[in-house]
A and B are shown apart, each in its own frame.
Chain A
C-alpha cells in the first residue's frame, strides 16, 4: 500500500512538473501585423538562443522585405530522414536546406520543390548575378532549377595527407610521388622501422580509390566518367586504371601496409585520434592544413600532397549544399527575397552565422569576429550557427574567426577558378527506368568491391567473378540507359 501511495505522489508531482514544462512549448510563430512569416528548415543543431536570434533577424527582414523568419533547426544527422516526413505531412515550410546526401534528386523527382527559374529572375536577381550559370547547371533536375546552390568553395580536391614527422625522419622526397605506386618504398620503410605505426589508411568504402581519375555519378556506385574522356560513361572497375589499382592494393595488403580489417571498417576514428599512421586520403582546401595542425601534438602534424588528381568540379560537388523552396510554400516570392538577402546582406548573413553581436560574438574590425570573453567554442555561446556559413547564402560575406588568415575567402575564390570543370556538369541520371538492375548491382558492389578496393582478396581471381556477376545483374543495360540519357542531355545543352 505504501509503495502505491509513493507512486501516486510521484506521478502527481511529475504531472505538475511536466504541465509547467509544456506551458512554454507553444511558440509565437505568426507575426501580428500581417507580414508573411517564412518558415525555414535547416540541417543544423538546435541552439538555446535560436528563437532570440531569429526574432532579431526578423526585425531586420521586416524593414527590408516586410516578412519575418522562423528557423526550425534539425540536427544534420537526422535531417535526411525527418525532412521527407515533414514534406509528406504538408508541414508549413517555405525554405529548406537540400543536398545530394539528403535525397535532392529523389525529392525533386517526387515534386517536393518548386522550380525557381522564373522566381530567380523576378525576385532573386542578385543571386543570378553572383552565381555563374554552369554552377546552376549542376543544381538542375530535368532542365529546371529546384535548388539554389550556396555561394562557396565548390570543387573538391582529392589529396594524400601524410605525416610530416615521419617524412622528415626518413627523408622522404614527397614531391617525387606522382602516383600511388611511388609510395611503395616509403610505406615499406615505415613498416620496417615503426612497429607502432600503420603505413597507410584505406577503407572498403573507397578512400584511396578516390585518388584515381574518375568522376562519380549520382545513382550508381559502379558507373562513372574517366576524367580524360567525357564521351561516355563506363564501369569504373572494368578499366585498366582500376585493375592496376587493385593489384597495387593487393601488394600493399599482403605486405601489411593496410590494416587487415580495412574492407569492413566504416571509420578510422581511432587512428585519427592516435595519429599513428603515415598516409591517408583527404580532400584539400586553402589553409586547411593550418587549421588541422592547430593545437595538435607534434607527431600528428600533417601535410597534403597535391597533384595526384586535379581539383574537380562536377554535379556531385554543386549538389553538396543548396536551398530549395517548398512546392507548397504559400509565398514563394517573399521566400526568394529572403534568400536573396542571404546572398547580399552582410549584416543578416552574419546574424544567421553568429547570432547577436555583443552577446554571441564580438566583431573585430570589418571582417573578423571573436567569441566573447571566456568562450572558446561556438557551442558555448548559446547560439551555435557557424555551420550556416557554408549551408546558406553567400559564404564569402561571413566574418572570419580571428586567427584564421584574413584572405581566406580570396583564396577560396581562386580555388573555385582553378578547378577542372567537368564536361558532364549538370547531367543527372534518372535511375527509374533501370531501378531493378541498379538494386541488384548495388548488392554486387557491396558483395565484392570493398574487399577488392583494399586488396583483401586476389584481384586475378575475384575481379573476373565480380565483373561476371555485374553482367548477370544487368550492368550493360544500365550503362546503355545511362549513356542514352547522357547523349540526350548533351544534345540539349
Chain B
C-alpha cells in the first residue's frame, strides 16, 4: 500500500542541490543573464516607482514638475480621496480576500479532477472531453446571454456565489495541468499504484496531486490573481447588495467616474461638468488605485515561489 513517507524524500536532499538542473554554467554567462534579467526588472521597477511617486503627488506639483521618480513634496490627497469611503474599503478588501481564497480552492479542486481524468491515456473519451472544454474557449454567446442565464435561470445576482463562480474555471488552466500531468508524471508511478489496488481517486489524491505541486502552485497563483483583479462579475451582477462589492469594483467605480466626468460623454451637460472639472483628482488617483491593487499581489508572490521547488517527482519515482 501507499505510504506517505514515500513522497517526502526531498527533505533528505539539500535544497540547493535540487534548485538547479542545468549545471556547469560559466560565470560570464551567468553575469550576462543577470544583466538581462535585472535590466528587465529595472524596466518594470521604474514604472512601479513612478506609479507610487505620482500617487503621492498633488495636482499642482504634477502640473509644475511633471512626473518625477521621487515626489518633491509628499501629499496623501489621492489616498484620502479613496479612503474617504472608509469602512466600505475594508469591507471590500474582506470580500475580495474571501472570494479569492474560496474561489481559488474551489477552482483548483474542480480543475485538477478534470485534468487528471483527461490526462489518463486509458480514458477512452479523453479527446472528446478535451474538445468539450476547448470549444468554449473559441465560441461564447457574449455578455448579454450569459447575463440572462445567470440572472434569470440561476438567479445568482446580488449573491456572493456569483463572484466565486464567475471565472472559477478556465480551459487554459485545465489544459496546462493536463499537459503537466501527462509529461512530468511517469505513467509507471500511477500504474504501480493501481496494481497495488489504489482506486482512481486515491491515485489522484495521493500520487498525482503531490507530484503536480509546481503546476498547481502556478495555476493557484494565476487564479488568485485573476480573482484579485476581477471587477467585471461584480460590475454586472451586483445591483443592490452593496455589501458584496469587491475592492476592485469599488476602485473601478472611482476610476470610471473620474474618467467619465473628464470626458465629454457625460450625461451632465458640458456646462455642468465645467464646474467639476477643476476639482477632479485624476492622475494621482489612478496611480493610487494601481498601488492598492498591485502591491498586495507582489507581496504575496514569494509565498507562491516557495512551491516552485524541484524534487518531488524524483521522490515518487524512486520510492
Bound pair (A, B)? yes
Chain A residues at the B interface, C-beta cutoff of 8 Å: 7, 10-11, 14-15, 17-18, 21-22, 24-25, 27, 43, 45-46, 72, 75-79, 82, 84-85, 88-91, 97, 99, 101-102, 153, 156, 205, 266-267, 269-276, 282-285, 288, 291-292, 296, 300, 320-321, 387, 390-391
Secondary structure of the B contact surface, majority rule? helix
Partner pick for A283 among B60, B105, B269, CB 8 A cutoff? B269
Are B257 and A77 neighbours in the complex by a CB distance under 8 Å? yes
Pick 11 A–B contacts, CB within 8 A, sort by A.
A22-B244, A45-B257, A99-B267, A269-B262, A270-B62, A273-B60, A282-B270, A285-B271, A288-B271, A390-B268, A390-B272
Please tell me if the beta carbons of A85 and B143 are within 8 angstroms of each other in the complex.
yes
A17 lies within 8 A of B94 (CB): yes
Taking the closest CB of chain B, its distance from the CB of A110, in whole angstroms, is 12
Q: Contact between B102 and A11 (Cβ–Cβ < 8 Å)? A: yes
Within 8 A of A (CB), among B250-285: 253, 256-257, 259-272, 274-275, 277-278, 280, 282-283
Instruction: List 4 additional A-B contacts (Cβ < 8 Å) besides A15-B102, A43-B267, A77-B256.
Output: A76-B267, A89-B148, A269-B283, A390-B272
Closest chain-A Cβ to B279's Cβ sits at a distance in Å of 9
Which 8 residue pairs spanning A and B have beta carbons closest together?
A: A274-B63, A77-B260, A77-B256, A25-B241, A14-B98, A283-B270, A267-B262, A273-B59
Bound together, the chains give a CA A258 to CA B257 distance in angstroms of 28
Which single member of B94, B263, B265, B270 contacts A156 (CB below 8 Å)?
Answer: B270
Give complex CA distance A285, B265 in Å: 19
Select one of B241, B253, B271 contacting A284, CB under 8 A.
Answer: B271
A101–B265 CB distance below 8 A: yes
A198 CB, nearest partner CB in chain B, Å: 11
In Å, the complex CA distance between A271 and B280 comes to 12
Distance (whole angstroms) from the CB of B23 to the closest CB of chain A: 31
Q: How far is the CA of A301 from the CA of B271 in the complex (A)?
A: 16
State which of B91, B143, B151, B253 has its C-beta within 8 Å of the C-beta of A78. B253
Known: A21-B91, A283-B269. A292 touches B275 (CB 8 A): yes
Contacts of B277 in A (CB 8 A): 269, 272
Judged by a CB distance under 8 angstroms, whether B152 is at the interface is: yes
For B95, the closest partner residue in chain A by CB is A18
Separation of A92 and B278 alpha carbons in the complex (Å): 39
B269-316 interface (Cβ within 8 A of A): 269-272, 274-275, 277-278, 280, 282-283
Instruction: With CB as the reference atom, state the residue of chain B lying closest to A90.
Output: B152
CB-CB under 8 A for A320 and B267, given A10-B101, A91-B151, A269-B282: yes
Proximity bits, B80-120, A CB within 8 Å = 1, else 0: 00000000000100110110011001000000000000000
* Interface assignment of B204: CB less than 8 Å from any CB of chain A: no
Q: B101 touching A14 by the CB < 8 A rule?
A: yes
Contact of A17 with B98 in the complex, beta carbons under 8 Å: yes
Cβ of B243 < 8 Å from any Cβ of A? yes
**Residues in chain B near residue A78, CB distance under 8 A:** 235, 253, 256
A205 and B262 CA atoms in complex are apart in Å by: 13
- As a 0/1 sequence over residues 222 to 256 of chain B, the CB contacts with chain A under 8 angstroms (1 = contact) are 00000000000001100111111000000001001
Q: A25-B158, A296-B278, A320-B267 are in contact. Are A276 and B243 (CB under 8 A)?
A: no
Chain B residues, Cβ within 8 Å of A321: 267
Q: Which residues of B contact A99 (CB under 8 A)?
A: 267
B152 CB contacts on chain A under 8 angstroms: 89-90
Q: How far is the CA of A18 from the CA of B266 in the complex (A)?
A: 35
**Closest residue of A by beta carbon distance from B84:** A379
Cα(A102)–Cα(B282), bound, Å: 24
Q: Which residues of A contact B151 (CB under 8 A)?
A: 89, 91
In the complex, chain B residues whose CB is within 8 Å of the CB of A291: 275
- Contact residues in A for B98 (Cβ distance below 8 Å): 11, 14-15, 17-18
**In this complex, what residue of B is CB-closest to A284?**
B271
> Shortest Cβ distance from A450 into chain B, in angstroms?
14
Residues of chain B with a CB closer than 8 A to A153's CB: 269
Cα–Cα distance between A43 and B158 once the two chains are bound (Å): 19
Alpha-carbon gap, A82 to B239, bound state (A): 10
* Bound CA span A73–B173, Å: 37
The answer on a CB contact under 8 Å between B147 and A89 is yes
How distant is the Cα of A379 from the Cα of B103 in the complex, in angstroms? Answer: 34
**CB within 8 A of A46: which of B105, B235, B242, B260?**
B242
Report whether A22 and B159 are in contact in the complex, using a CB–CB cutoff of 8 Å.
yes
What is the bound-complex CA distance between A238 and B267, given in angstroms?
A: 30
| Inter-chain contacts of B261 with A (CB < 8 A) | 77
Question: How far, in angstroms, from A76 to B158 measured CA to CA in the complex?
Answer: 20
Bound form: Cα–Cα A88–B280 in Å: 34
Contact B263–A266 (Cβ < 8 Å): yes
Docked Cα-Cα span, A320 to B265, in Å, equals 11
Interface residues in B107-157 by Cβ distance below 8 A to A read: 143-144, 147-148, 151-152
B160 CB–A CB distance under 8 Å: yes
> Chain A residues near B158 (CB, 8 Å)?
25
B282 partner residues in chain A, CB cutoff 8 A: 267, 269-270, 273
CB contacts (< 8 Å) of A205 on chain B: these are: 264
Across-interface contacts of A90 in B (CB, < 8 A): 152
Residues of A within 8 A of B105 (CB): 11
Interface centre among A14, A77, A205 (most CB of B within 10 A): A77
Q: Which partner residue on chain B sits nearest A102 by CB separation?
A: B267
CB distance from A181 to the nearest CB of B (A): 24
- Kindly state whether residue B64 has any CB partner on chain A within 8 Å: yes
| Distance of A131 from chain B, by nearest CB (Å) | 18
Q: Are A22 and B147 in contact (CB under 8 A)?
A: no
A24→B158 CA distance, assembly (Å): 11
A202 vs B293: C-alpha distance when bound (angstroms): 34
- CB-defined contacts of B272 to chain A, threshold 8 Å: 285, 390
